[in-house]
């Protein structure tokens, strides 16, 4: 309900909330129909599908890494520290990708294929050593870094 109240307030009070070149008299219904027309474009649908798959995999991973690591050890571990490490590795992976593809002008497809190959190797290592906490932790960290 708070979101609805905020949306109505913005629509009424926020004058600059109109696209460039559009008059102030354009109806809200017309604006929604233009927005839906944009959503029907192939590029927008493709990006939406890719983002949905990415978010699905990321959410599955977020819910899966804790039980995976718990299965590898009988000792207690700090899930907060593991999570922070994974987030830092995602950020580091983003910076490595930026360095390789943007600054060094690396091949986009080669870098993506290399990342997928590294992730497959890391997953394989987890399967080969299922009861080793440190190897599993490092492999999951590598997978996280490749996601960045």
Q: Per-residue b/e over 120-135, b at no fewer than 16 CB within 10 Å? A: eebeebbeeeeeebeb
Cβ proximity of 129 and 135 under 8 Å:
yes
Check whether 116 has a pLDDT greater than 70.
Answer: yes
What Cα–Cα distance (Å) separates residue 40 from each residue in 34, 44, 45, 58, 108?
Answer: 10, 7, 7, 26, 27
Average pLDDT of the residues in 106-129? 86
Q: What is the residue-averaged pLDDT of the chain?
A: 83
Check whether 42 has a pLDDT greater than 70.
Answer: yes
Cβ proximity of 141 and 89 under 8 Å:
yes
For a pLDDT cut of 70, what percent of the chain falls above it? Answer: 91
Q: How confident is the model at residue 124 (pLDDT cuts 50, 70, 90)?
A: very high
Check whether 107 has a pLDDT greater than 90.
Answer: no
Per-residue model confidence (pLDDT) at position 22? 57
Per-residue model confidence (pLDDT) at position 128? 93
What is this structure's pTM? 0.62
Check whether 103 has a pLDDT greater than 80.
Answer: no
103 vs 125: which has the higher pLDDT: 125
DSSP H helical ranges for the chain: 2-13, 28-39, 42-72, 79-97, 108-128, 133-147
Check whether 125 has a pLDDT greater than 90.
Answer: yes
Q: How confident is the model at residue 121 (pLDDT cuts 50, 70, 90)?
A: very high
């Amino acid at each position: 309900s708070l979101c609805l109240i905020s949306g109505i307030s913005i629509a009424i009070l926020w004058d600059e909330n109109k696209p460039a070149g559009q008059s102030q008299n354009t109806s809200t219904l017309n604006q929604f129909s233009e927005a839906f027309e944009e959503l029907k474009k192939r590029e927008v649908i493709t990006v939406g599908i890719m983002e949905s798959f990415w978010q699905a995999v990321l959410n599955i991973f977020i819910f899966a890494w804790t039980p995976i690591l718990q299965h590898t050890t009988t000792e207690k571990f700090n899930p907060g520290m593991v999570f922070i490490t994974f987030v830092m590795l995602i950020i580091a992976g983003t910076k490595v990708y930026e360095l390789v593809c943007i600054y060094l002008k690396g091949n986009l497809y080669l870098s993506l294929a290399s990342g997928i190959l590294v992730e497959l190797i890391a997953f394989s290592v987890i399967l080969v050593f299922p009861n080793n906490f440190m190897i599993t932790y490092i492999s999951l960290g590598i997978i996280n870094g490749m996601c960045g």
